[in-house]
Structure 1
Amino acid sequence: MSMSDYLSNAWQPTPDDIASSNVNALMERLGVGSYDALLAVSNAQPEVYWQAVLDFCGVVWDTGYRTYLDTQAGSEFPKWFVGGRLNWVKSVLQWAGDPELAQHDAVVAEREDGTIVRVTFADLATRVAAFATGLKAQGIQRGDRVGLLMENGIEATVTLLAIAWSGAIVVPLFSGFGVDAIVSRLSSCSARALVATTGFHRRGKRVDTRKLVDEALTRVPAVETVIWKHANEPIDFHARVLDWQTLARTRPEGEPESMSPDDPFMVIYTSGTTGKPKGAVHTHGGFPLKIAHDAAVHFDVRRGDVFCWPADMGWIAGSLVMSSALMRGATLVCYDGAPDFPDWSRMSRLIERHRITHFGSAPTLIRGLAANAALAAQGDVSSVRLLITAGEGIDPEHFSWFQKAFGGGRRPVINYTGGTEVSGALLSSVVVRPISPGGFNTASPSVAVDVVDVHGETVLGSVGELAIRRPFVGMTHSFWQDDERYLDSYWRTIPGMWVHGDLALRREDGTYFLLGRSDDTIKLAGKRVGPAEIEEVLLELPAIAEAAAIGVDDPVKGQKLVVFLVPAPGWRGEADELQRAVCAHIDVRLGRPFRPGVVHAVTQLPKTRSSKIMRRVIRSVYSGLPAGDLSALDNPAALDEIRLAAAR
């Protein structure tokens, strides 16, 4: 698709879209007449911008702050909202005292078996205070690390909020982790307690997590207290093995702990290319305020909206989705099962059942929905006002399909990219500007995003590194007890700026496109090319459902392109036929120098639970190198197919 095609297919806001938006209300509050002017204020006067945002979002403070930012320790270690005191959970629980929202649904949890449970904002506040009081009664203190391994739902939401309420630090764990992954994370942060589920259902079958957790706990002696959420299994409850429901019935006492904006409330681990996972540290005055901002500015969430973006609480998306809804007084709809169970209509039926206004999805799920379009679109999605996609790059065709099938062609799709280490958006879109399929129409306000070359110089209209030139609200406060790794990861590639590890391109009109991770870069015909650029072209072929492109060492060319393809459902051709079709299409779309050296057809690609394709793992396994940290891998059998491909 050419740049002119991107422009001609852009979503255009109506005057009503603009006038009714949160961005427009924020512009009026700042006294500016355009989004460009708002963006300029956010970067030139961030202290003015953030004061307006915090007021607009109704963030609750115990004590107002004196200074927006202190960088005396260096840009790498900023202090935010100096002098202020808050506990971000108060900003969620404030709606319990709002006459219009107190009896409104705060959380609606739908299980895979169809069971639906609801709690109001008033009930949520009582439950959080009760569970937090129960935690304190068990000796959980301010600053203690508490693991959280639970399927998405009301209990997980209450638990996370209660841990933060008490001043402790939550350590989210993916519900599909193996023993080693659980052990490494709990050990790394010296967790004192763990709140865990004994199991949940996925595709109609029970997933037993209790056995894994029991084994992990034998290797983590620092964990003194285990709190089980269970389905009536016999458990030997005693002083240090407790029942979740019993703690949830504790009589609420006291108020949320008053914290410094720089006090941690979460340590969340993200996989590195090699070595142990990195523990990003998020604080009361960082992550929640950034997410409240993004929910208002990028997602246009308002009081009374209904927000659903199925996500595991063990990844950053889980707490991001929860905060996006609850910080804004919107209803959070949780779903804990497979998105295609009992069939591919589940997501649209979910939207229909709960009259969801905001729906988010990873690109991989969107591709699965599109490949099963007849079923996927069976539900009534007319309630949708805005769609979101995030987690990895998305090709323009599937972006446009999502807008048409789930947004009726009238609702915008907000592309959103940030990462575990930065809380929310670096790049995203706003509803007051046109949106090009697959693109981002703005840098997130007050985040000094740039696209730079290896020397840190700005590049326009060509591929460069995505970088941030100044500290920004929401950035991790280093890695847990590992400043050197934090500095090496983000600040030392180009001294003086945060280099995020993504390849990006910025057009003259201010639209950005991501082209894959910079460490996934492939150099062909003397040019750097991102895997997403190749994969987007491959996905234009109707015979291909999914694609992953990697560069591997070649003694003659330096690197050659290897692609792994998952054929579309119903495809019955031969592997040679697929390779010929791929090469012919690449010749036309990108040129013969970009033709793949090898094409492999597989039944699945290695992915995380959040559906990100693990290209670095594919490259390592295919090249016979150590695979690195596999704790995030959801489908280990996919690696066997990569090894078989390498052996051929």
Structure 2
Amino acid sequence: MGDPAVWFPDDDVLARSRLGEFLRTTGCTDLAELDGAARTDPAWFWDAAASWLALDWQQEPERIVRELDAGPGTRWFPGGALNIADNAVDRWLRRGRAAEPALSWENEDGTSGCLSFAELAAEIDRVAAGLLDNGIGFGDRVGIQLPMVREAVVAMLACAKIGAIAVLLFSGFGESAVQQRLNACEAVAVISADGFARKGRIVELRGMLARVAEQVPSLRTIVLVGLGGPAQPKLAGEVDWASLGSTGRAVPSARCPSDHPLMIAYTSGTTGAPKGIMLGHAGFAIKAGTDAAWCFDIGVGDMSSWITDPGWIMSPITVLGGLVAGSAVAVYGGAVDYPDTGRVWRFARDAGVTMLGVSPTLVRTLAKGGPEAVPDDLGALRVFASSGEPWTPDAFEWLFDTVGGKRLPIINYSGGTEVSGAILSNTTMQPIVSCGFAGSVPGMAADVADEGGDSLRGAVGELVLRASSPGMPLGFWGDTARYAKTYWSSWPGVWLHGDFAEVDSAGVWYIRGRSDDTMNVAGKRIGPAEIEQVVGAHTEVSECAAFGVPDPIKGEAVVVVVVANTASPVTELAGRIAGMVRERLGAALAPRAVHIVAELPRTRSGKILRRVIRAVYLGDQPGDLSSLDNPEAIDMVAGLR
């Protein structure tokens, strides 16, 4: 048997479940039957899902799917037209919700507010009109580099409304990363800020944008949001956000064919240029909208929020998916632990958040403040969600026990940019096991495969998808062949996701890390997450990263880098940690070395960059560092060699 469940849905939770509501419309008796029916007939399933969302199509599709077995050539809802901005906001005006809350926000300086659906629609129209006035239109690529402020939400929706293609840029990107992405897609505009507040200081962007503009020949317009940065130097093509358009001017939603790109989200690995993943209006609306409803259990009357950056996919999944599902959304623009580690919990309480998304690393950061930083009253909060990396038991336990009082479910959610949402997830209809997933998200046809591509249970293998789904990419911008090679070339008709997964004897799923991080130690394949879960359970460990290094005898040996929460002598603590791994996982997997550092390289959303740690430790080129938030941590790792 597997690990015992820590949370069970009661009758009230089951009665309000949106997934349960959808299940009843299909005629299936339970989730297992629904999953089986979806695997047998994906066209039937996604037709039912789109109908259940009650989307407003500009033109009904000719059919649900074309060439279902064509892998990268599959096309969903061909002949149809749908604009996601229309369905996220204007649709709710037509449904009589004009006065209801739509977008709530809080900034680091304490300013906050809320827009109704009518007010949000008017602001989207103002910005959309201003973009059109500046010659930005259908099919143009527009970079968006903003912190998680309300303007980031409006910018995304305004671009979608006129059919421009948003290019997601992490707010912490430097000159090279921004220039590379804008050049790759020949962006004609970028929406950014003069600067933004972080931990009481202003991060200046204007000067960086001036240098970027000189290197991107296609760039004609730079729209700047005034967030407290410097007023100079004036940029070529600069337009003030506040001066865009005019209040009261209605902008019709551009007619967007189902396969019209909504966004380009660049993802990167250890080698090669970042991949420009194109996601479409219809596919993203249906996948992110159903995920928001079925996984996060949100809809009309809810307020959903994810503590992330607009440049990461969880922002549009939460914002656009949440709005499509009927929820209002809340955003927090600032450092999560400023002025103290209770900031996020107070924001969620004060904004009336009902679903709050976090990352495991963020939870470990906030846990440093202790239970006294958590308010006794979390207001309307009823669901946690998490993504970005595998949980460690200590972090999961702290969020579940200390913050949630063992009452609130944690929706462990894993998939990514490439599929517009989750592959594996918990739901509020099923028991939840610490660090695990209840199973494949309905419609995703997930499986674990061995080296021959056959189904595997009770052991670690590759996470694969046995069928296409609407949220999959339209392709890579400018490189269709690379898309097919990256995800569809291992086995015919099978999507290889790049994650290491396992299904235990009780049917609980686990992500064991990226498969390109997989270690092969003395013939045993093991993902870093399995080792990190053991190390993270040590009472003196705050966080950790495990990776493999070449070994002349074992092939690979395990190295662990740890951030400690005590002042114990380094050698003694390292020995205790190594002994714990040896005891739990066996002598073959005992770490060759355990190193103690002050911090680990991470993104601003809190994701630990394991590939970077390994590369720097081995003295190799670390690849793309554009998402790195704390470059000083690189020097710490390099000093371990």
Is the shorter-chain TM-score for this pair beyond 0.5, marking a shared fold? yes
Q: 2:589 aligns with which of 594, 600, 603?
A: 594
Tell whether the 8 Å contact from 1:271 to 1:632 is kept in structure 2 after alignment.
Answer: no
The one-letter code sitting in structure 2 at the alignment partner of 1:577 is E
Matched, 1:263 2:271: no
Q: 1:371 aligns with which of 368, 371, 395?
A: 368
Deviation at 1:44, TM superposition (A): 2.0
Secondary structure of 1:27's aligned partner: helix
Matched, 1:425 2:422: yes
Q: How many angstroms apart in 2 are the aligned matches of 1:277 and 1:293? A: 28
Q: How many angstroms apart in 1 are the aligned matches of 2:311 and 2:23? A: 36
Q: How does 1:200-239 map to 2 (within 5 A)?
A: 200-231=196-227, 233-234=230-231
Deviation at 1:96, TM superposition (A): 4.7
Deviation at 1:111, TM superposition (A): 0.5
Matched with 1:65 is 61
Q: How many angstroms apart in 1 are the aligned matches of 2:187 and 2:69? A: 28
Q: How many angstroms apart in 2 are the aligned matches of 1:231 and 1:273? A: 34
In 2 relative to 1, CA 339–403 (structure 1 residues): closer, same or farther, beyond 3 Å?
same
Matched with 1:272 is 269
Matched with 2:285 is 288
- Structure 2: 5+ residue runs without aligned partners? none
Q: CA RMSD in A?
A: 1.8
In 2 relative to 1, CA 333–476 (structure 1 residues): closer, same or farther, beyond 3 Å?
same
Which digits, 9 at most, give the CA deviation of each residue in 1:319-366, with x for residues without a partner? Answer: 112123211222211101111110011111112212221111000011
Tell whether the 8 Å contact from 1:182 to 1:216 is kept in structure 2 after alignment.
Answer: yes
Matched with 1:14 is 10
Matched, 1:40 2:29: no
Deviation at 1:404, TM superposition (A): 2.2
The number of equivalent residue pairs is 640
The one-letter code sitting in structure 1 at the alignment partner of 2:428 is V
Deviation at 1:99, TM superposition (A): 6.6
Matched, 1:308 2:266: no
Secondary structure of 2:73's aligned partner: coil
Matched, 1:521 2:521: no
Which digits, 9 at most, give the CA deviation of each residue in 1:356-414, with x for residues without a partner? Answer: 21111000011122332223313521421111011100023322321223322122110
The one-letter code sitting in structure 2 at the alignment partner of 1:556 is I
Matched with 2:473 is 476
Q: How does 1:563-582 map to 2 (within 5 A)?
A: 563-568=560-565, 571-582=566-577
Q: 2:19 aligns with which of 9, 18, 23?
A: 23
Matched with 2:327 is 330
Deviation at 1:496, TM superposition (A): 2.9
- Structure 1: 5+ residue runs without aligned partners? none
Matched with 1:585 is 580
Matched, 1:440 2:443: no
Matched with 1:120 is 116
Matched with 2:177 is 181
Matched, 1:626 2:621: yes
The one-letter code sitting in structure 2 at the alignment partner of 1:117 is G
Q: How many angstroms apart in 2 are the aligned matches of 1:30 and 1:557? A: 52
Tell whether the 8 Å contact from 2:512 to 2:528 is kept in structure 1 after alignment.
Answer: yes
Tell whether the 8 Å contact from 1:349 to 1:380 is kept in structure 2 after alignment.
Answer: no
Q: How many angstroms apart in 2 are the aligned matches of 1:214 and 1:549? A: 40
Q: How many angstroms apart in 2 are the aligned matches of 1:199 and 1:396? A: 38
Of residues 39-48 and 616-625 in structure 1, the stretch that sits farther from structure 2 once superposed is 39-48
Q: How many angstroms apart in 1 are the aligned matches of 2:297 and 2:92? A: 22
Matched with 1:192 is 188
Q: How many angstroms apart in 1 are the aligned matches of 2:170 and 2:129? A: 26
Matched with 2:507 is 510
Matched with 1:49 is 45
Q: How many angstroms apart in 2 are the aligned matches of 1:375 and 1:347? A: 14
Matched with 2:539 is 542
Of residues 238-247 and 101-110 in structure 1, the stretch that sits farther from structure 2 once superposed is 238-247
Identity score, percent? 38
Of residues 369-378 and 540-549 in structure 1, the stretch that sits farther from structure 2 once superposed is 369-378
Q: How does 1:68-83 map to 2 (within 5 A)?
A: 68-71=64-67, 74-83=70-79
Q: How many angstroms apart in 1 are the aligned matches of 2:529 and 2:482? A: 28
Secondary structure of 1:418's aligned partner: strand
Tell whether the 8 Å contact from 1:272 to 1:629 is kept in structure 2 after alignment.
Answer: yes
Tell whether the 8 Å contact from 2:72 to 2:483 is kept in structure 1 after alignment.
Answer: no
Matched with 1:635 is 630
Q: TM-score, normalised by structure 1?
A: 0.96
Tell whether the 8 Å contact from 1:417 to 1:428 is kept in structure 2 after alignment.
Answer: yes
Of residues 406-415 and 257-266 in structure 1, the stretch that sits farther from structure 2 once superposed is 406-415
Secondary structure of 2:7's aligned partner: coil
Q: How many angstroms apart in 1 are the aligned matches of 2:547 and 2:235? A: 52
Q: How many angstroms apart in 2 are the aligned matches of 1:235 and 1:161? A: 28
Q: 1:246 aligns with which of 238, 243, 247?
A: 243
Matched, 1:153 2:128: no
Matched with 1:108 is 104
The one-letter code sitting in structure 2 at the alignment partner of 1:169 is I
